[in-house]
Amino acid sequence: MPLAPGCTPKNALTGKSGAFYDPRNNTGAALKTECFNVPLVTPGEMGVPAGDTFETNFISGQRNIFRQSWQKRADASLVKDLAIRERLSLHYTFDVYNITNTASFDIPQNNVNQNYAFNNVPIANQLLYNAPVGLGIVKHTIGSPRQIQMSLHLNF
């Protein structure tokens, strides 16, 4: 979805992460919905015939312009070798993945529809009006939660 005229990737951001959206007062989204629209071409412009209100003028150069912060995690292992006899030993391993159990958020939702379910006819210069899951709202995390595993090997 291209940015609306006058919007840049920087001012399309709200400054929120999108992970704590409050639907009661529509606050907390990561993106401003008014900064996105389908650039429909009005009939008579750019060779569009009269009566054709469905032509778009998508532009290039605006792909993947929004990124979420880097995934943050730390992993650690503790290993102990214990000799029991000359030819017999134990090898113990204790692994912890994502020690701090820090959540890393996925990108904000960007699933948008101008003509959702084909119920309404789009109008030239119409702003985005339907984002089924909420434009700019984070619905998922990436990575995994804290995981712990232990192993014990008997070597002979």
- What confidence tens digit (pLDDT) does each residue in 51-92 have? 766 666 655 555 556 666 677 889 999 999 999 998 999 999
Measure the CA–CA gap between 19 and 136, rounded to whole angstroms. Answer: 9
- What confidence tens digit (pLDDT) does each residue in 108-142 have? 765 555 554 544 555 555 554 455 556 677 777 88
Q: How many CB atoms lie within 10 A of CB 143?
A: 14
Mean pLDDT computed over every residue of the chain: 75
Measure the CA–CA gap between 72 and 143, rounded to whole angstroms. Answer: 9
> Residue 67 in contact with residue 13, Cβ under 8 Å?
no
Which pair of structure tokens corresponds to residue 77? Answer: 């292992």
Q: Is the pLDDT of residue 27 over 90?
A: no
- The identity of residue 67, as a single letter, is R
- The identity of residue 8, as a single letter, is T
* Nearest one of 100, 95, 130 to 115, comparing CA atoms: 130
* Nearest one of 15, 62, 34 to 135, comparing CA atoms: 34
Q: Give Cα separations from 152 to 66, 89, 149 (angstroms).
A: 45, 10, 11
Residue 75 DSSP SS3 = coil
Backbone angles phi, psi at 35, to 5 degrees: -90, 10
